Amino acid sequence: MENVLLWGFYFLTFYAFLPGFISRTFGFRVFKRGRAREEIALTFDDGPDPVYTPRLLDLLRKYGAKATFFVVGVHAEQHPELLRRMAEEGHDIGIHNYVHKTNWLMRPGTVKKQIARTSGIIEQATGVKPVYYRPPWGIVNLFDFANLGYLQIILWSAMFGDWRKRVGAERLTARMMKKLSPGEVLLLHDCGRTFGADEDAPEQMLQALEVYLQRGSERGYRFVTIGEMIAVTDKNRAREKAGRKPGWFKRTVTACWMAWERCFNVLFRIVDVGDGSLLHYRIRPYRGGELVLDDGAVIRPNDKIVELHFDNAKLRQLLENSRSLMKVAIFLIRETEKALPALARHLESRADLRDVKGLYGISMIHRGPEAFGFSVLDLPRGAFRFFTTRYLRLLIRVLHPSGGELLRDKNAQFYPRIMAISLTEFLRRYGSASGRPQPDASDALDPAAASALPADGPAAAVLTGGKTLQQ
Ligand SMILES: [Zn+2]
């Protein structure tokens, strides 16, 4: 008996309570409240219901309100027409398991199947694959985090017991009015056929909601889908972050960094091309293994090369002052567009550089440099790759306001690679014989370079540390 209790305790702690605690306390992969000035997100669980859902949709339409429905698979299966109507009228549809059962009582594999089955039903009815998941009673277990993959868990900031009839329309209205403020994510129910609920409870929910929508509209609030609420929240958070001064720790680290940068430049004879160019370089013998470039040229050990470096101070300024990553990407491409011809002229003007074999750098950009004519090659495994990876990741973390988050999100993409181009090819593309306009005259964005942004978002192309370590 004691053993059973003990195991029960472990089970509840690790399988049930701990994840709930973690997700609720730290908001880990869970969205429950927005940061907004005028947006409120209404969410409706347990439906669709043939009686109440159409009436709810009418009511929402009357006030121009958008909402999010977390549907139960078995109900959705019976009413695909209601799902279609939700989608057509601009609402979001999320998953609320196939049957209304808590994840505590199901094995991880079963939860996964329930989600997949419901996802299939929604996709078949609307043509859209759902991206939001709300576990019944908001209860998640440890495995849900691993199981969900692309799905984001949505909880709520306010609930009112609207599934119980005895609450009464008046009391329900009063409770809801207390939560009439931007950023709230309201949990309501458009179906009373689940365990523990009263079947006709949605009747009074509809009455209370009408008052809520009316008052909210009078105050100028907008009722939005959870997707829009998340987007608005991200935007507002980024804005707040940009407005906030970085903490003393980050300031100290950055200051040390920049001091180190200056030392590095002096110690290793980094040359600044001038004119505020993003690219610096130094001349050195190549030390790595043989590099075969896309144009057939080969860089061999001890060949003289131009080693490229980004001006990290400039890079830091750029990253700090820009709010959207897309803007950073475009700006960076533009700067590189200007820097390459400037560098080409500079190299042409130096007679002592005629015997340089090629240009070489280490970069986190994987697809961007190809548009500029660079070959992108793997770094050989080993200590150098190991330390360069750490170094560049640290660089991103320090330089970018939300660098840490980016590293977590796109983990797999953040490893350094070699970018190289032969001097012949470089001068052919960017030198004075290339027919390119003078560097300062060219301000236009090369469409080829713009399309070099990776398909999965600009972040991967943006975050670069051109700095190479001593080999
Ligand atoms: Zn529910």
Ligand 1 centroid distance, CA of 121 (Å) = 18
Pair 34, 232: CB distance under 8 Å:
yes
- Give the whole-angstrom CA distance, residue 303 versus residue 347: 16
Last residue of a domain, one of 241, 266, 285: 241
Strand segments (E) across 167-214: 185-189
Q: Encode pLDDT of 94-151 as tens digits.
A: 999 898 887 777 777 788 888 999 999 999 999 999 999 998 887 766 556 555 667 8
Is this prediction's pTM over 0.75? no
Contact 445, 333 (CB under 8 A): yes
Same domain, 224 and 254: no
- Does 256 map to a domain? yes
100 catalytic residue (yes or no): no
Backbone angles phi, psi at 92, to 5 degrees: -90, 150
- Which three-class secondary structure state does DSSP give residue 76? helix
430-451 burial: b if 16+ Cβ within 10 Å, else e: bbeeeebeebeeeeeeeeebee
User: Which residue in 45, 46, 92, 162 is the catalytic one?
Assistant: 45
Cα(96) to ligand 1 centroid in Å equals: 7
Angle (CA) 402 404 364, round 5°: 95
Of 6-15, 125-134, 269-278, 361-370, which gets the smallest average pLDDT?
A: 6-15
Residues 454, 457: Cα–Cα separation, whole Å: 6
**100 C-alpha to ligand 1 centroid (Å):** 6
Closest CA to 167 of 207, 214, 210, 223: 207
Residues 358 and 391 in one domain: yes
Least confident of 167-176, 358-367, 402-411: 402-411
For residue 305, report the distance from its CA to the centre of ligand 1, in Å: 64
CATH label of the domain that carries residue 209: 3.20.20.370
What's the gap in Å between 83 CA and the centre of ligand 1? 17
pLDDT in tens, 63-97: 999 999 999 999 999 999 999 999 999 999 999 98
- Burial (Cβ within 10 Å: 0-12, 13-18, ≥19) of residue 2: exposed
Planar angle of CA 266, 268, 269, nearest 5 degrees: 65
Q: Per residue in 231-245, pLDDT tens? A: 999 899 888 877 766
Same domain for 274 and 130: no
Q: Write the CA distances from 110 to 13, 103, 115, 116, 154, integer angstroms.
A: 20, 9, 9, 10, 20
Mean pLDDT is lowest, of 28-42, 163-177, 426-440, for 426-440
pLDDT for residue 438 is more than 50: yes
Listed residues 217, 241, 265: the one ending a domain: 241
Query: How many structural domains are present in the chain?
Result: 2
Greatest mean pLDDT among 17-26, 317-326, 359-368 lies in: 359-368
d(CA 22, CA 389): 30
Catalytic position from the list 75, 79, 189, 400: 189
22 pLDDT more than 80? no
Concerning whether 58 is annotated as a catalytic residue, the answer is no
Q: Which residues does 4 contact at the CB level (< 8 Å), separation at least 6?
A: none
Same domain, 237 and 256: no
Co-location of 312 and 217 in the same domain: no
Residue 381 lies in a domain: yes
Instruction: Answer yes or no: is 467 within a domain.
Output: no
Measured in Å, residue 45 CA sits from the centre of ligand 1 at: 5
Domain that holds residue 93: 2-241
Residue 199 and residue 271 in one domain: no
